[in-house]
Structure 1
């Protein structure tokens, strides 16, 4: 079955798409990526997404129009990736505006903005969306959802294998070995903390809006990290809490950046960026010390193109083989779009897409809701 996967993450820089096919065993499918595409959000749209996610007062009319604009970009990248309309399903994550993990007696909730019916009509294809709600309703975090796809798409090796996505937030998947006493261990995964969220906000702050990110980590490479401050930050409650856990801009956003800049006491921009870059890497390195150490770390996401961040990861994860996930045929921007294509396929099959070992839900569940193009109902074969 051909499925188009669409993903826009916490960085809110645009939408990635992959057109993939799946066949064979549901939990170990044979898969092929046929094409890929990316479309950046216009600067004004990205700024609005980030502002809304940071609590900027916004009218209902503005939110309606924001959803229309976001959906239009989703349609554009879908048509660029699959101009012939060969996909039988579309799996679309939508754009997260707010994510609230469960806390105590309070249930979790998450808001991914998308006009799914409009997208289904534009593409004349059923669209599976709202992937997090079922897991949240069952007491889970609703995130991360990609570890289930990682386990299905990547073969096990002789030891634990770790996958790291460096988007706005850094998240990890840990896959158990193919043999030995831990081969029956559950797949693990969680959100580590900030990867690019604080970095991008800092670049915008120091450049006064002239730049949106530190391309290649060049600016950070000119500075010196404050290691004492990084060690202090690593003791904060989120980083000391055990999985399951998830997070986003709600915790690591503009207010958090300002707090950290104040603790640096008027730093030079390059030193601040070096410290934040080292912090993003140190968060991951600390989390990799949980449980059995992995043999290798496969890295994807936009942060994989930041040379300074990758250098910090190698320095702080000594003894660990670190290489790009692209070497296994999944490019930096493919992983999450491919995962939501797979989740849409599982939805079509009526198969669960969540892992309770990752999200902490009471039971697994079929993820997503399917929006058929108006005038057509039922499953497309």
Structure 2
């Protein structure tokens, strides 16, 4: 079956679309990546989405218009990736506005903005969306959802294999080895903390909205990293909490950036960006200590294009082979869209797509809701 996967992450920079083919058993599918396309959001829409995600006041009428705009942008990306309409099914994550992990005595909730039935009509194909709700209803975090797809798509190696996504938020997948006493252990996965969220917000602020990100970490390279401050930040509650756990802009957004900048005092923007970049890498290095020790770290996501961030990762994750996921045939911008294409295929096959070992849910669930175009 050919499936379109559509993903827009925490950075809200646009939509990654992939067209993929899946055959064979659900747990060990044969797959082929046929096409990839990135469609950037218009600047005003990105500004609105980031603002709403930071708690900016928004009327219900404006929110409705934003939902329509997001849905239309998803359709544009889908058509650009699959212009001849070969896909039989679409898996669309939508745009996360707010994520609330479970807390003591209170279930979690997560809001991915999308008008699923509208997207199904625009594309003339069934659309699987709202992937997180079933896991949340079962007491899970609702995130991350990509780890079981990582195992199915990448397979296992001779030791624990780690997959790192450097999106707005950094998240990890740990895949058990193919042989040995730990081969029967489940996949692990969790959100580590900030990857690009604080960096992008700081770059916007320091450049007066002239820059949306620090290309290749060039700006940060001019500064000095405050290691003592990073060590203090690593002792904060989220980083001391073992998995399962998930997070987003709600915790690591504008307010968090302002607090960290105040702790940096009168440091220059160069030093601030350097320290925030080192912090993003240090978070991952520390979080790797929460699970089994992997032998390699495969890196995907927009942070792969930040040369300084990658250098910091290699420096702080000593003993690990750190290499791009691209070397295994999945581009850094393709991984999550491909995962949601697989999750949609699993939905169509009735295959449970979540893992309690990752989300903490009471049991695995078939993920997503399917909207079909009217005949």
Place the TM-score, normalised by the shorter chain, in its bin: over 0.9
1:115, distance to aligned residue in structure 2 (A): 1.0
The separation in 2 between residues aligned to 1:155 and 1:196, in whole angstroms, is: 28
CA deviation string 1:36-75 (max 9, x = no partner): 1001111111010000011111100000000111111101
Match of 1:231 in 2: 231
The separation in 2 between residues aligned to 1:349 and 1:270, in whole angstroms, is: 51
Aligned length: 375
The separation in 2 between residues aligned to 1:65 and 1:170, in whole angstroms, is: 30
Match of 1:368 in 2: 368
Q: Which runs of 5+ in 2 are unaligned?
A: none
Does residue 100 in structure 1 map to residue 121 in structure 2?
Answer: no
Contact 2:20 2:32 in 1 (8 A): yes
The separation in 2 between residues aligned to 1:281 and 1:26, in whole angstroms, is: 34
The separation in 1 between residues aligned to 2:8 and 2:323, in whole angstroms, is: 24
Match of 2:113 in 1: 113
Contact 2:190 2:245 in 1 (8 A): yes
Match of 1:379 in 2: none
Q: What is the 5 A alignment of 1:129-148?
A: 129-148=129-148
The separation in 2 between residues aligned to 1:39 and 1:209, in whole angstroms, is: 21
Contact 2:92 2:127 in 1 (8 A): yes
The separation in 2 between residues aligned to 1:221 and 1:313, in whole angstroms, is: 14
Does residue 346 in structure 1 map to residue 338 in structure 2?
Answer: no
The separation in 2 between residues aligned to 1:338 and 1:292, in whole angstroms, is: 26
CA deviation string 1:326-359 (max 9, x = no partner): 0111001100000000000000011110000000
CA deviation string 1:161-184 (max 9, x = no partner): 000000000000000000011011
Contact 1:117 1:374 in 2 (8 A): no
The separation in 2 between residues aligned to 1:36 and 1:83, in whole angstroms, is: 12
1:286, distance to aligned residue in structure 2 (A): 0.4
Match of 1:219 in 2: 219
Q: Which runs of 5+ in 1 are unaligned?
A: 376-381
Contact 1:147 1:173 in 2 (8 A): yes
CA deviation string 1:290-311 (max 9, x = no partner): 2331110000000011001000
Question: SS at the partner of 1:148?
Answer: helix
1:15, distance to aligned residue in structure 2 (A): 0.4
Question: SS at the partner of 2:164?
Answer: strand
Contact 1:200 1:212 in 2 (8 A): yes
The separation in 2 between residues aligned to 1:266 and 1:302, in whole angstroms, is: 29
1:196, distance to aligned residue in structure 2 (A): 0.2
Q: What TM-score do you get using the length of structure 2 for normalisation? A: 0.99
Match of 2:21 in 1: 21
Contact 2:143 2:190 in 1 (8 A): yes
Question: SS at the partner of 1:52?
Answer: helix
Q: What is the 5 A alignment of 1:41-190?
A: 41-190=41-190
Match of 1:290 in 2: 290
The separation in 1 between residues aligned to 2:267 and 2:315, in whole angstroms, is: 23
The separation in 2 between residues aligned to 1:355 and 1:293, in whole angstroms, is: 20
Q: Where do 4+ consecutive residues of structure 1 move more than 2 Å? A: none
1:151, distance to aligned residue in structure 2 (A): 0.9
Match of 1:319 in 2: 319
1:9, distance to aligned residue in structure 2 (A): 0.3
Question: SS at the partner of 2:290?
Answer: coil
Contact 2:277 2:308 in 1 (8 A): yes
Match of 1:263 in 2: 263
Question: SS at the partner of 2:219?
Answer: helix
1:266, distance to aligned residue in structure 2 (A): 2.0
The separation in 1 between residues aligned to 2:103 and 2:306, in whole angstroms, is: 34
CA deviation string 1:229-270 (max 9, x = no partner): 000000000000010000000000000000000000022011
Does residue 208 in structure 1 map to residue 245 in structure 2?
Answer: no
1:20, distance to aligned residue in structure 2 (A): 0.2
Contact 1:100 1:109 in 2 (8 A): yes
Contact 1:200 1:214 in 2 (8 A): yes
Deviates more, 1:288-297 or 1:240-249: 288-297
The separation in 2 between residues aligned to 1:27 and 1:62, in whole angstroms, is: 42
